[in-house]
Amino acid sequence: MSFDLKSLRGSAAIAGVATFGCGESPGFTEMELLARAAYAAVADAGLTMADIDGVCTASVLSAMWPMPVIEYLGLNPSFIDGTMLGGSSFIAHLMPAMLALAAGQCNAVLVCYGSTQRSGTMNRKAVADARRQMDPQPYEMPYEPVMPVAAYALAASAHMARYGTTRRQLAEVAVAARAWARLNPEAFERGPLTIDDVLCARMVADPLTVRDCCLVTDGAGAFVLVRSDRARHLPRPPVFVLGTATACWHRQISAMPDLTVTAASQSGRAAYAMAGLTAADVDVAALYDAFTINTLLFLEDLGFCAKGEGGGFVENGAIAPGGRLAVNTNGGGLSCTHPGMYGIFALIEAVRQLRGDGGERQVAGARVALAHGNGGTLSSQATAILGTAETL
Amino acid sequence: MDASRQKGDGGQLGAIHRVLQFGIAEAGVCTPGLRKGFGRQPGSPLAITNGVLRRHWADCASRFGSDVQPHTTMTLPATGIQAQHQQALDQGRFLIQHCGACGRHVYFPRELCPHCGALGPALVAPAGGGTVAAVTTIRRKAELGGDYTICMVELDEGVRLMSRVEGLAPAAVAVGLRVQARVAQANGHGLVVFDAEAAA
């Protein structure tokens, strides 16, 4: 029996989204933030928790995370996906959830995430030390690479050496993200930021300063996916999943085949093929910007410009408000929120733009949005092409 | 009959099952025997004579009805490839792998060739020459030891590894720099580091 993924195009829609506790949420546990976001997303979809019969979730801290989530939320799901691919996970959950919905395995999938990375009792150093034991990387750890920033700095170094990309071009990415964040009341960092501010900030790992690095925040995000026929009868405008795909080539940065080409080139190609669209059709791009180099790599690998031309593409405010392409309109991981695994927030921002909920930062007439998640050290890549009803 | 309780083979029959697990279990030849879960403790190499092996094949064929093939002797590695690689490093030898099936080099060391899927790429000594493919300087407070570099080095054999270049200021380590591998010893363990080629 042959099965074409294109037949899934538009078969499922995101009916509800929510964030909760983004920024600083001292006094909350990860589960509490997750539960609040989950409740709000389900309510946004016009459903109740009793309607949820599918769940997808992942946590940096817990290897068996779906079980406590199911327990805490009182769910009895017929579809469960706890695939953990780092920050791309929640976009990577889309395809298995669509397949489960199409097969009739379940009727409403809740994808949810919560993190207290900023305020939690287990600080990032403790988590990093635990991971050294739980998830050893014996061919890298002896050199003491401060992860993840060292991996992204190495990728930036290779991109600069091969393509002449400059630190100023990297800084353009951070400045554009901040300009969008200034239009988003939910963004954590909303102060003014100039290219010189980025260049003169404290160097962390050359060529990346602290302003080339994402925020460390708390936060939770959730969304609800249902079959499209049902979504049309729910209160909010459905945002249809036109195409989605995931690719993973490696775990360790030293095992990446080419530091300047990510697996987004593969996930993007597959997602566009399923959607029958190209980068030229995309009105809003939400690209996982853990570091400024990410945005350049993903603009290239997802077809917005040729390989090596990402630096030139972003110059002169080209991805800032009023630029040629609206990128990370919420302010991204660089200026809005980054609780550890940002992918779900990229997706939620894409949904908000397609619903017209963007407020001051709304991209006029947005019909097609691309949300892209990155996980590990440029390791796993998941792309989703979303569209309004008129794109079906 | 439970093969693990068979007398008179001096324990070797069980050991052979362990060998098969590493050797040709993929062919499915000894699956019934492997399920018994017997075998000696891993850790020491074991050579098996042809005679013992043939008796084992015959035994398996009669008891499990497997379509077994004659095979020459095999040796159970004392450890996994990671420990073998580290043991060589601790002795001052830097080894990478070469796959006899597809002819490509492999690093980091693995039980399977990631290029073609063949079992057990051989450990081989690289020439040691390479080029810095990427570099970053990790900024660290002076009282904690100061700045240090992390590099990605592409060996002339075509494999890449994380390492560092020693003997140069961080700012002098640039993409394209030719380097030569050396095994440094720290805390009783060998570690691959690099020197600039001219200084090597």
Q: Do B134 and A157 touch (CB under 8 A)?
A: yes
Mean pLDDT of chain A: 97
Identify whether A85 is part of a domain: yes
Q: Average pLDDT of A40-47?
A: 98
Cβ B139 vs Cβ A204: under 8 Å? yes
- How is residue A66 written in tokens? 């779906």
pLDDT at position A30 is 96
Domain count, chain A: 1
Nearest to A340 by CA among A65, A15, A137: A65
Tell me whether residue A199 is in a domain: no
pLDDT at B41: 36
> Quick one: pLDDT band at residue A127, thresholds 50, 70, 90?
confident
Which CA distances in Å does B95 have to A328, B60, B112, B130, B133? 45, 38, 16, 14, 20
Question: Nearest by CB to B136, which of A157, A202, A255?
Answer: A157
Task: Please state, in angstroms and rounded to a whole number, the distance separating the CA atoms of residues A261 and A239.
Answer: 30
The model's pLDDT over B22-72, given as tens digits with 9 standing for 90+, comes to 443 322 234 333 333 333 333 333 344 455 556 666 766 676 665 554 443
pLDDT > 60? residue A178: yes
Q: Which residues pair with B42 in a beta bridge?
A: none
Q: Tell me if A161 and B176 make a contact (CB, 8 A cut-off).
A: yes
Q: Mean of the pLDDT values across residues A15-38?
A: 97
Q: Do B162 and A157 touch (CB under 8 A)?
A: no
pLDDT of residue B4: 38
Looking at the domain assignment, is residue A223 inside a domain?
A: yes
CB contact under 8 A, A259 and B133: yes
Share of chain A above pLDDT 90, in %: 94
A-chain CB neighbours of B95 within 8 Å are: none
The encoded tokens of residue B15 equal: 């050991």
What share of residues in chain A are helix, strand, coil (percent, to 5)? 40, 20, 40
Residue A276 located in a structural domain: yes
Q: Tell me which residue range forms the domain holding A359.
A: 5-120+215-391
- Residue B78's pLDDT band (cuts 50, 70, 90): confident
CB pairs under 8 A between A and B: 74
**pLDDT the model gives residue B60:** 65
Q: Does B80 touch chain A (CB under 8 A)?
A: no
- Nearest-Cα distance to chain A for B175, in Å, is 7
Nearest-angstrom CA–CA distance, A75 and A50: 8
Predicted confidence (pLDDT) at residue A307 exceeds the cutoff of 80: yes
A267 located within any domain: yes
Distance CA A156, CA A260 (A): 8
Q: Report how far residue A146's alpha carbon sits from residue A264's, in angstroms, rounded to the nearest whole number.
A: 24
Whole-Å CA distances, B134 to A242, A294, B147, B162, B174? 37, 16, 17, 9, 8
Position A322 in a domain: yes
Q: Of A143, A158, A204, which has the smallest distance from its Cβ to B134's Cβ? A: A158
CA distances (Å), origin A135, targets A60, A73, A141, A181, A252: 11, 29, 11, 34, 11
Chain B hits for A150, Cβ within 8 Å: 136, 138, 150
Whether residue A145 lies inside any domain: the answer is: no
pLDDT for the residue A125: 79
CB contact under 8 A, A138 and B82: yes
Which chain A residue lies closest to B135 (C-alpha atoms)?
A154
The alpha-carbon gap from A203 to the nearest alpha carbon of chain B, in Å, equals 7
Residue of B nearest to A207 (CA): B136
Chain B residue at shortest CA distance from A138: B82
CA-angle at A159, arms to A158 and A160, nearest 5°: 90
A136-177 pLDDT, tens digit per residue, is 999 999 999 999 999 999 999 999 999 999 999 999 999 999
- Please report which confidence band the pLDDT of residue A3 belongs to, taking 50, 70 and 90 as the band edges: confident
Domains of chain B: 3-76 (no CATH), 81-124 (no CATH), 129-199 (2.40.50)
**Min distance A318 CA to chain B CA atoms (Å):** 28
Angle between helices A149-163 and A292-301 (to 10 degrees): 60
Residue of A nearest to B107 (CA): A255
pLDDT of amino acid B65: 61
pLDDT (mean) for A200-208 = 98
Nearest CA in chain A to B109: A139
Instruction: List, for residues B81-134, the tens digit of each pLDDT value.
Output: 999 999 999 999 999 999 999 999 999 999 999 999 999 999 999 999 999 999
Identify from B94, B138, B164, B166 which residue to disrupt to test chain A contact, counting A C-beta atoms within 10 A and taking the largest count: B138
Q: Which band of pLDDT confidence, cut at 50, 70 and 90, is reported for residue B3?
A: very low
> Which residues from chain A sit within 8 angstroms of residue B150, using beta carbons?
143-145, 150, 154, 205
Flag whether pLDDT at B8 surpasses 60: no
Question: CA-to-CA distance for A230 and B68, rounded, in angstroms?
Answer: 57
Token couple for A32: 């509490």
* Cβ–Cβ < 8 Å for A119, A52: no
Reported confidence tier of residue B75, pLDDT bands at 50, 70, 90:
low
The reported pTM is: 0.88
Q: Do A254 and B136 touch (CB under 8 A)?
A: no
Residues of chain B in contact with residue A139, where contact means CB-CB under 8 angstroms, are 107-108, 161-162
Report the length, in residues, of chain A. 392
Q: Which conformational region is residue A79 in: left (phi greater than 0), alpha (psi within -120 to 50 degrees), or beta?
A: beta
User: Mutation test of the interface with chain B: which of A143, A160, A253, choosing the one with the most B Cβ atoms within 10 A?
Assistant: A143
Q: How confident is the model at residue B6 (pLDDT cuts 50, 70, 90)?
A: very low
- Are A286 and A256 spatial neighbours (Cβ–Cβ below 8 Å)? no
Among B140, B130, B99, residue whose Cα is nearest residue B197: B130
> What integer pLDDT is reported at residue A242 of this predicted model?
98
Contacts of B163 in chain A (CB under 8 A): 143
Chain B residues whose beta carbon lies within 8 Å of the beta carbon of residue A253: 152, 162
The region of weakest confidence among A238-252, B3-17, B70-84, B165-179 is: B3-17
pLDDT at B2: 40
Residue A131's pLDDT band (cuts 50, 70, 90)? confident
Tell me the C-alpha to C-alpha distance, in Å, between residue A206 and each of A152, A170, A298, B20, B177: 10, 12, 20, 50, 17
CB contact under 8 A, B108 and A255: yes
Does position A384 have pLDDT exceeding 60, yes or no?
yes
**For residue A312, what is the domain's CATH number?**
3.40.47.10
**Whether the complex's predicted ipTM surpasses the cut of 0.90:** yes
Which residue in chain A has the smallest CA separation from B115? A257
